Structure 1
Amino acid sequence: MEQNPFTHTLEYNLDLGKTKPDTVHRHEKYCPFCDVKNLKNVLETRGHMIWLENAFPVLKDCWQTLIIETDDCDGEFSEYDPAYAVEMIRFGLEKWHQVQAMDRFRSVVFYRNHGYMSGGTIHHPHSQIVGLEKYDYHDDVKLYHLQGHPVLQSPGIEVNLSARPIIGFYEVNLILSDDAQLPLFVHYMQIVSHFMIHDFVWHNESYNIFFYTFPDDPKLYVKIVPRFLTNPLYVGYMIPQTANEGHRNRFIERLQKALAAASNQPERK
């Protein structure tokens, strides 16, 4: 059955979008996520984490929510205390599954932005959970987008570099098949995120983290993507690119060393 291309796009309200506060690009001093007492439509609070409806629902036919991850406006996921990082990811996964269970959306996306090029407008660390009423991301994102060249394998965890990336070049996938290994999995997420902004082959200050589930598949899939100017072949023709073998192997070797160093640290509870 041929897919309707109009169900594979989201309408963005630019008139509303231009009224959004922007502490990433415009260096505005006021941060709405720090002004906790004036937050509206709060759904749940757990410690310093706050799940609430997005005050600027710019996407049509969507329910937009976000998680304020911490009270530290300059915090960064890769530098969170390991135990707090696990707690935050658990909270996000819980809320993501909760929205999925509402059974009113074709799919629900869970992701986070970091940095100037990541597509976010608020510097304060936060994640987003968006219910999509008319679009199922599984129509376009396939399991092969989460498979690739091995980087690390440990019980219940796989890390790889996409052989068929969604947008191109270096997309690192983490796959969790044993929920008991979530603390180590989150630690690997932190290591990869830190690698992207501190040890990457190009100067880079931005990345995204995307979470995926697939029907009849119990695994949790996570894709971490460094962000910079999108290659024009993807913009014009939707053609992703991968790095040449030599460059790819050097990237994998450096990331393996970073992850191996993390693996040699005491187990994180």
Structure 2
Amino acid sequence: MENEPLVFELGVAKGKPHSYRKTPHKPVCPFCAVDQLTDIYEKQGEMIWLHNKFPTLRDTVQTVLIESSYHNGDIANYAPDDNRKLMRFALACFKQMNDSGKYQSVLWYKNYGPRSGGSLEHPHMQLVGLKHLDGYKYLHPDNFAGISVFNNQEVEVNIATHPVQGYDELNINLLSSSGLDLWADWIQSGVKYMLNVMFAGRCTSYNLFFYPREDGGICAKLISRFEAPAYFVGYKLSQVDDEQTLQQEAKQFRRFFANGSNTNYEK
């Protein structure tokens, strides 16, 4: 299989604000200055979908979805109803791009924390249209399957047995549009679980990726971010915990959700 990397335009990145650089003074957050935002596509309450001011990837259309006006907000501390509205709005924006016919593929993801690969702390997602590349060609259906945590006709949740990177990835699969609110609740529970319970609370960063499924549904995949394993960096070999550990993790995550994980955490 031929490797087709995304080309990063370094010149475009000059002057881009970065929350995680070691500088004496943090840059002014551009997403807090709502009155100065331009190229807005859609707006719903505090949520704003707009063109990315620093489109660093060649042959793409990069957009940003600002989740909230609260600079320190995150899925983990939103009110459950606000999180449900966010997922509905973001999914509608993704479908608008994906159904436009302008791109070979559309990527939808979220960075959170200093090790996530993101540059700004303010809560946001990214939707990126790839004009000539299939962004999903290295993925397989078994990346979204695993040890069951929850399953009904609308939503299926599992701990991945064939992760994209590893070690423990949470898959929250939306099987029917009627399950959107339940899907959003499981995503929120997964974020809280990953940041506060999994790895004994040592995880401070995560990525949330959204993948269209072959059956018409969509998978939300939560990946904890530490240092990337050498096997993945050098060989693209993912690693996974042993089955006993995954079974134990699935049992613990199921109990976490059942015990009312929608209590807000202050990080």
TM-score, normalised via structure 2 length: 0.92
More displaced 10-residue stretch of structure 1: 133-142 or 19-28: 19-28
Deviation of residue 238 (structure 1)?
0.9
Deviation of residue 214 (structure 1)?
3.4
Matched, 1:100 2:85: no
Which amino acid is 2:240 matched to? T
Q: Conserved in 2, the CA contact under 8 Å of 1:106 and 1:135?
A: yes
Matched, 1:151 2:142: no
Q: Hey, what's the Cα distance between the residues in 2 that align with 1:183 and 1:236? A: 39
Matched, 1:212 2:211: yes
Match for residue 192 of structure 1 among 190, 193, 204: 190
Deviation of residue 155 (structure 1)?
3.6
* Alignment partner, residue 125 of structure 1: 123
Deviation of residue 260 (structure 1)?
1.9
Paired residue secondary structure (1:139): coil
* Alignment partner, residue 66 of structure 1: 64
* Alignment partner, residue 11 of structure 1: 7
Q: Deviations over 1:12-34 (max 9, x none)?
A: 12233242101134461410000
What is the percentage of aligned positions where both structures have the same residue? Answer: 32
Which amino acid is 1:146 matched to? F
Deviation of residue 95 (structure 1)?
0.7
Query: Runs of 4+ in structure 1 displaced over 4 angstroms?
Result: none
* Alignment partner, residue 141 of structure 1: 139
RMSD in angstroms over aligned alpha carbons?
1.8
Q: Conserved in 1, the CA contact under 8 Å of 2:205 and 2:225?
A: yes
Deviation of residue 92 (structure 1)?
0.6
* Alignment partner, residue 21 of structure 1: 17
Q: Conserved in 2, the CA contact under 8 Å of 1:76 and 1:125?
A: yes
* Alignment partner, residue 241 of structure 2: 243
Which amino acid is 1:142 matched to? H
Q: Deviations over 1:158-215 (max 9, x none)?
A: 1111111111211110111121111111011000001111111251111111111135
Alignment coverage as a number of residue pairs: 260
Which amino acid is 1:23 matched to? S
Going from structure 1 to structure 2, the CA distance change for 1:261 and 1:134 (only over 3 Å counts) comes to same
Going from structure 1 to structure 2, the CA distance change for 1:262 and 1:157 (only over 3 Å counts) comes to farther
Match for residue 164 of structure 2 among 155, 166, 181: 166
- Structure 1: give runs of 5+ residues left out of the alignment: none
Q: Conserved in 2, the CA contact under 8 Å of 1:212 and 1:222?
A: yes
* Alignment partner, residue 30 of structure 1: 28
Which amino acid is 1:20 matched to? K
Q: Conserved in 2, the CA contact under 8 Å of 1:65 and 1:128?
A: yes
Q: Hey, what's the Cα distance between the residues in 2 that align with 1:43 and 1:212? A: 22
Which amino acid is 2:182 matched to? L
More displaced 10-residue stretch of structure 1: 25-34 or 252-261: 25-34
- Structure 2: give runs of 5+ residues left out of the alignment: none
Going from structure 1 to structure 2, the CA distance change for 1:88 and 1:211 (only over 3 Å counts) comes to same
Which amino acid is 1:174 matched to? I
Going from structure 1 to structure 2, the CA distance change for 1:64 and 1:124 (only over 3 Å counts) comes to same
Match for residue 89 of structure 1 among 87, 94, 101: 87
Paired residue secondary structure (2:222): strand
